[in-house]
Amino acid sequence: MKTENTTDCLNIYREENYDIAVIGAGHAGCEAALAAARLGMKTVVFTMNMDSVANMPCNPNIGGTAKGQLVREIDALGGEMGKAADATYIQSRMLNTSKGPAVLSPRAQIDRRAYQQYMKHALERQPGLHLRQAEIVDILCDEYPGITRKVRGVMSRNGALYECKAVIVTTGTYMESRIIIGETSYSGGPDGLFPSVGLSENLRKLGVGLLRFKTGTPVRINMKEIDIAGLEEQTADEYPCLFSFENEDDESFIGKEQKSCWVTWTTEETRRIIMDNIHRSPLFSGDIDGVGPRYCPSIEDKFVKFPQHGRHQIFIEPTGDTTEEMYVQGMSSSMPEDVQVRMLRTVPGLEKCRIMRSAYAIEYDCIVPTELKLTLEHKKVEGLFFAGQINGSSGYEEAAGQGLIAGINAVHTQLGRDPLILDRSQAYIGVLIDDLVTKGTPEPYRMMTSRAEYRLVLRQDNADERLTETGYKIGLISEERYGIYLDKAEKINEEVERLRKTVLKPDTKLNGLLQELGSTPVSSGTTLAALIKRPEISYSSLAAVDPLRKPLPRSVCFEAEVRIKYEGYIALENDRIEKFIRLEHKPIPENIDYDDLSGLRIEARQKLQKMRPLSVGQASRISGVSPADISVLLVYLEAQRKQGNR
Amino acid sequence: MNEVKRNFPDFPVIPFSSVTGEGLDEVRVLITNIYNSFGNSSSEEIIITNSRHLRSLRQAQTEISIAHEGMVCGSPLDVLASALRKASESLAEITGDEVSEKLIQEIFARFCVGK
C-alpha cells in the first residue's frame, strides 16, 4: 500500500480524525455536512472564509421555475435550504400561476446576510459537526495496486492533516478561479474572496478529469439613487408560498412586511454603448476560454445573439432588509468598468446610479461529472464524493440538492447501507443527478421543468408525498414530522373521497353559481368532483354550494383540488412512468463485456464500456446510444438470463 | 424437393440458388406479388418495416390525441405539454433525435431564463 502526498508543506501536523470531511460551506457543502452529522457521522466542514458560509454571490433569491421544486424536495428529504429561505425571505411569489399545476414554482427574494447567518448558526449548533476556516489544498489517498484509490484524509494550506473515511468536495466556483472585467483579469473567487489554489491540480493527479466553465454576475447599485417613479413595481404575493412543509400552513408568516422588485428596460442608447465597445468584451476578444451558460447570457451577449429584440428586461431586486444594495438582474456583464457605468445609466430609473460592486465574469475549474456514479462518488476514487457547482451545475438549489444526496450517500457507504438514488420519475433531484452523471453537460447546468419527463407528477405541492417516506427511512425526517405528514396525507384522501361522493342537486342556487362562474348549468345531480374538473371552476369557488366543507389547511385543499382536476392526466403520466420504470429497473450486470454484443455500433460500445450504466434505462440516455443499440442490449440480456436459468 | 411440395401444398415452391443465380428472378417476382397483394401501395406511401417503429408511431398517435382532447376542453398548457413531449420522444425513438436537448436549445434561442 502506497500513500500519496502531493503537498509540499513544511509544517505538517495531525489534526483530529473525522468520519467525513466536507470541503466548502456553500449551498452544497452545508446540506452535505448537515446530513452527514445528523446521520451520526463525526463531520468537519471547511470554509475558506467564515463570513462566506452559504453565500449568494449572484442573485439573492431561492426557488423559481424548476428550482422551487428542487427546494421543496430538499425539504421533504430533511434538508435545510427550505427552512433557511422561509426564515429569511423578503419577498415571496408563486411563479407561472396561469400555466398549470406542474410548472407552478415558488420563488423568494432572500435577505442574503440573514440567510448566511441562519445557515452558519445551523451548522454551529449541529451536534457532531465542526465548522472550520481552512483552505484544503490536498486530498490524500491510499493506493491499492490493481484496485482503485481510497480516500484517507485532507490537508490544509497551513499543514493540518485531517484523517477521514470520506471526502465530499463542494468547492463551487472557487477552484483556480479567475475574475474578468473587461481588459482586466486576475486570480480571484466570487465577491472579492480568495480562490482555491492547488486543489484542482491535486484532483487531476488523482485521475479526476477537469473542465473550465464560466459564469457572471451583474452590478449592485444603491436604492437611494434609483428613480422608481417611472418603473413597474412587482409586489409580493399576499399569501407567501413557503418552501418548508413544516411551515406551509403556518399563519404567522402571513402579513410579514415584504419588499418589492422593480422592472425596467434597456434602451437604444444601451445597445449603442455596448455595440460600440463590444471589442473590449473578453467574451468576444477571446480572453475567456470557459464555457458560459446559454440561459443566462451577459447583456452584451444578448444584444449580439438576439438582434431581433430591441430591448431587454431588467429587474431591480433587493438583497436584504438592512441594506440598500440592489441586484440588477439581466445586466450580467464582463465589460470594462467604464462601459458598465455608462450602459447602466442609459436604463430608465438608473440614470443617476453609481456602481457599488462591479459586474464580472468568473472562470473556474469543475470536474467531468460523467466520471461520477449516481451516488455522486467518483468511479475511480473510493470515498471521494462531489456535489454542487464543481459538478458543472449552476444555481444554489441545484447545489443544495446534490449536497444532500452526496452527504447521505457518503454516510450510507460508511455504514454499508443501500445508496440513495432517486430516479427521474421520483424527483427533480433525480433528473438533475442523472443528467449530470449520465449525459454530462457542455455548459453550467440549470434545472428546467422541460428537463423532467414526468413533471405532472414532479410537482412542488406533492414533494412531501414523493419523498417524506424516504427522508424518514434514511433518518433525516423526525418521527414527529413524519406523523404530521401522514396526518396531512389522510386529510387529503378524505377530502378527495368526500368531493367524489357528494352529489349536488341541479337547483337554482347551484346553476346560478355556475352561471356566475361562466360555466354550463347542470340538469341532473352532479358530484363536487365533476364540477371541480371543469377548467373554469376552482375548489374555493364552490364553497357556497358545499355546506359540509370542513375548514382545512390551505395545503390540503390545494392538493385535493389538483388531484381531482388533473386526475386523468396524472393517471396517464403514471402509465408513462410505469413503462419507464420497466427499463429503469432492468439491471445490467456489473461485469458485462460490451465486446460480446456483436450488434452494437462502435460508438455505442465505446460509450457503454466507458460509462458502465447500472440499468438499461440509464444506458438509453447516454448520448451516442441509439434505440437500436438498446434493442441489441435487451436481446443480449434476455439470452444471458435464459442461459443462466438453464 | 417433392417432400417440400407435398408438405406445403398451398404454397408455391421455387427452387433457386444464390450461388448460380438460378430461379432468383422468379423469387423476386413472387415477393413483389405478395407485397402488392397487401393493398394498392404506391411509392408515395410510407412503409413501416420495423415493429419497434410501429410501436413508437402508435404511441405517438395516442399521445397526440390525448393532447388534442385536452386542448379542446381547455386543459392547462403543462398537461398538454406532457403528452406532446411523450409524442415527440416516441418519434425520436425512430429518428434518433434528442428531444430534451432540442427543446432546451429552442428555449435558450428565444429568451433568457436567468439564473
Give pLDDT tens digits for A192-204.
Answer: 999 999 999 999 9
Cell of A457: 407528477
The DSSP secondary structure of A517-575, one letter per residue, reads TT----SS-EEHHHHHTSTT--TGGGGGG-TTPPP--HHHHHHHHHHHHTHHHHHHHHH
The identity of residue A251, as a single letter, is: E
On the question of pLDDT at A503 being above 90, the answer is yes
Q: Report d(CA A345, CA B52) in Å as an integer.
A: 60
CA distances from A399 to A26, A132, A230, A543, A623 (A): 8, 20, 37, 42, 24
Cβ contact (<8 Å) for A535 and B85?
Answer: no
Confidence (pLDDT) at A314: 96
Which one of A362, A569, A601 would you mutate to disrupt binding with B, by most B Cβ within 10 Å of its Cβ?
Answer: A569
Q: Of all helices (H) and strands (E), which one includes residue B93?
A: helix B77-95
Query: Per 3-state DSSP, what percentage of chain A is helix, strand, and coil (rounded to 5)?
Result: 40, 20, 40
User: Residue A2 — pLDDT band, cuts 50, 70, 90?
Assistant: very low
Residue carrying the nine cell digits 429587474: A315
* Closest residue in chain B to residue A580, using alpha carbons only: B86
Mean pLDDT of A121-150: 93
Cβ contact (<8 Å) for B79 and A627?
Answer: no
Q: Report d(CA A51, CA A55) in Å as an integer.
A: 8
Closest to A113 (Cα-Cα) out of A59, A62, A46, A55: A55
Q: Report d(CA B51, CA A303) in Å as an integer.
A: 49
Mean pLDDT of A123-130: 98
Give pLDDT tens digits for A203-247.
Answer: 999 999 999 999 999 999 999 999 999 899 999 999 999 999 999
Give pLDDT tens digits for A23-49.
Answer: 999 999 999 999 999 999 999 999 999
Q: Report d(CA B53, CA B93) in Å as an integer.
A: 8
Q: Of all helices (H) and strands (E), which one includes residue A329?
A: strand A325-329
**How buried is A20 (Cβ within 10 angstroms: 0-12 exposed, 13-18 middle, 19+ buried)?**
buried
Q: Which residues of chain B register pLDDT less than 50?
A: none
Residue carrying the nine cell digits 441586484: A327
Give pLDDT tens digits for A368-390.
Answer: 999 999 999 999 999 999 999 99
Pick A535's closest partner by Cβ from B74, B94, B103. B74
A-chain CB neighbours of B89 within 8 Å are 453
Mean pLDDT computed over every residue of chain A: 94
Closest to A95 (Cα-Cα) out of A511, A460, A422, A493: A460
DSSP state at residue A436: I
A-chain CB neighbours of B85 within 8 Å are 450, 453
Cβ contact (<8 Å) for A453 and B89?
Answer: yes
Confidence (pLDDT) at A204: 96
Q: With pLDDT > 70 as the criterion, what percentage of chain A qualifies?
A: 98
Cβ contact (<8 Å) for B77 and A100?
Answer: yes
Q: Which one is predicted more confidently, A98 or A74?
A: A74
Cell of B88: 415527440
ipTM of the complex: 0.74
Confidence (pLDDT) at B40: 61
Give SS3 for A62.
Answer: strand
Confidence (pLDDT) at A295: 81
Cell of A433: 443527478
DSSP state at residue A514: H
Cell of A587: 439491471
Confidence (pLDDT) at A147: 65
Measured CB to CB, residues of chain B less than 8 Å from chain A are 52, 66, 70, 73-79, 82-83, 85-86, 89, 93-94, 96, 98, 100, 103-104, 107-108, 111-115
Partner residues linked to A162 by β-bridges? A154
Partner residues linked to A21 by β-bridges? A44, A167
Q: Of all helices (H) and strands (E), which one includes residue A45?
A: strand A43-47
Q: Which strands form A105-110's sheet, in the order they lie side by side?
A: A61-63, A105-110, A89-95
On the question of pLDDT at A634 being above 70, the answer is yes
Answer whether A333's CB lies under 8 Å from A359's CB: yes
On the question of pLDDT at A3 being above 80, the answer is no
Confidence (pLDDT) at B44: 65
Give pLDDT tens digits for A588-630.
Answer: 998 999 998 988 999 999 999 999 999 999 999 998 898 889 9
Mean pLDDT of A111-133: 98
Q: Report d(CA B22, CA A59) in Å as an integer.
A: 78
* Closest residue in chain B to residue A57, using alpha carbons only: B115
Cell of A225: 439613487
Confidence (pLDDT) at B114: 63
Give pLDDT tens digits for A295-347.
Answer: 888 999 999 988 888 899 999 999 999 999 999 999 999 999 999 999 999 99
On the question of pLDDT at A95 being above 80, the answer is yes
Closest to A24 (Cα-Cα) out of A191, A160, A137: A137
Q: What is the pTM of this model?
A: 0.92
Closest to B107 (Cα-Cα) out of A317, A294, A588: A294
* Closest residue in chain B to residue A627, using alpha carbons only: B93
Q: Which one is predicted more confidently, A478 or B14?
A: A478
Confidence (pLDDT) at A393: 97
Dihedral (CA of A63, A64, A68, A70) sign: negative
CA distances from A238 to A68, A75, A249, A254, A459 (A): 18, 23, 14, 8, 22
The identity of residue A364, as a single letter, is: Y
Q: Report d(CA A195, CA A52) in Å as an integer.
A: 13
